[in-house]
Structure 1
Amino acid sequence: MRMKSVVSLLVLLHCCLSGAQVHKDRDGQTCQPDIHTVLREMSTMMAEQRVELRHTKTELGAMEARLRASESRLTASESLVEELKVQLKSKVEELSKMNEGHTGPFNTGITLVYRNIYSNIGNAYNPTTGIFTAPVRGLYLFRFYIYGWGESSVATSAVLHKNGHHIAIAHADHSSGGINSSNGVSLLLEVGDVIYMHLWAGRKIYDNESHHSTFSGHLLFTM
């Protein structure tokens, strides 16, 4: 910026001196350039440029502040997303399958997901969610068996749900030793009705490679 001002000053001086020389050649008189006027003009120009530079710096500072604020919000959002991913992964692992050993007790009820599939004709049972969806209207038979180890403070139980409603329960409660229970029911289902096993909050169920706890269902006939 300063170099530009100096060049401008030199150009102005050159023009003035050139004009003075031409004037002398024609009239025989000498033109003395007003160097003070030129310097004042240059000083004014430089002052204006300094003001513009300050405004530019102020605008850049404001833009940098907004950028830092945006980066902070983005970082906070990314941290929240990662935290939610961890929580979701933990919840999915908790809900997605019955591991060997006890499942439960939990603070909230969960859908039991049976991972050992013996047959799933028509893929009406979803091994990821643990939900059976009726493919046709008809009468279906469902049976379920549960097993657990007795504990005075936690009972072993599982509930058959239809479209979110309690239908039947298998329940066992003993202070020690192996305990088991079973139940079954025939249900008229419409297309799209869902059936699943539900573990209540504060309850548990046990399973291992011997497959003590099972859930099954099949169509008796269409209607």
Structure 2
Amino acid sequence: MLWNQKKNIQNYRNVIFTKASSSICDVVVKLLIPVGQVAFSASLLESGSGTLGPINAHTTLVFKHVVSNIGKAYSPHTGIFTAPVRGAYHFEFYVFGSGGSPGSVVGLTKNGEHIFLGQQVQSTGWGSGSNGATLLLEAGDVVFLRLWPDRRIYDDPSRYNTFSGHLLFPM
């Protein structure tokens, strides 16, 4: 009986040591392997000039001319940024439009929830607006820009309409 208790204690110690070693290894691996760097910047049109809208529904804007896409978290096919890791991210966007009605109104959207608007509304000429936000995102959260219903957005080879974002730090 004493031999069985001694063996049980030894097995228990082995289990504790194995679990502790595994936890320590996990921490060391997380410290040694850097989190992927994440940053992107894109403009609305790949080439040429054009106006999108007015459309009678919210429309996800797809920024097709990608200048940088470090970490490949932005999709130029859908216009959606998907957070690869939990962390603080910063996004900014610039909206350009021609004078007249309706103006350009664009919303920064996180997981379908409206965050901030950027707009360009004036009676004549050209104008621009901008906005930005720092957001806490979970891995898999999505961020994108939506053109507001019954609004329009204009772009040309000068690439006035841009959407950019980057990971500030993982959490």
Same fold by TM-score, threshold 0.5 exceeded?
yes
Query: Structure 1, residues 11-67: CA drift from partner, whole Å, max 9, x if none?
Result: xxxxxxxxxxxxxxxxxxxxxxxxxxxxxxxxxxxxxxxxxxxxxxxxxxxxxxxxx
Distance of 2:105 and 2:153 partners within structure 1? 7
Query: Structure 1, residues 115-138: CA drift from partner, whole Å, max 9, x if none?
Result: 110111111001100000000000
Q: Give the corresponding residue for 2:53.
A: 104
Distance of 1:187 and 1:100 partners within structure 2? 32
The runs of at least 4 aligned residues of structure 1 exceeding 2 Å deviation read: 97-100
Q: Give the corresponding residue for 2:78.
A: 129
Aligned pair count reads: 126
Bigger radius of gyration: 1
Instruction: Using the aligned pairs only, state the percent identity.
Output: 52
Gaps in structure 2 of 5+ consecutive residues = 1-43
CA contact (8 A) 2:104 2:147 kept: no
5 Å matches for 1:85-100? 98=45, 100=49
How many Å apart are 1:205 and its aligned residue? 1.1
Q: Is residue 167 from structure 1 mapped to residue 105 from structure 2 by the alignment?
A: no
Q: Give the corresponding residue for 1:119.
A: 68
Q: Give the corresponding residue for 2:150.
A: 202
5 Å matches for 1:1-223? 98=45, 100-151=49-100, 153-223=101-171
How many Å apart are 1:100 and its aligned residue? 2.2
Gaps in structure 1 of 5+ consecutive residues = 1-96
Point out the structure with the larger helix share: 1
What secondary structure, in the 3-state scheme, does the structure 2 residue paired with 1:219 have? strand
Query: Structure 1, residues 165-196: CA drift from partner, whole Å, max 9, x if none?
Result: 10011012111100110001000000000000
Task: With the length of structure 1 as denominator, give the TM-score of the two structures.
Answer: 0.55
Task: With the length of structure 2 as denominator, give the TM-score of the two structures.
Answer: 0.71
Query: Structure 1, residues 199-220: CA drift from partner, whole Å, max 9, x if none?
Result: 0111111111110000000000
Distance of 1:134 and 1:177 partners within structure 2? 37
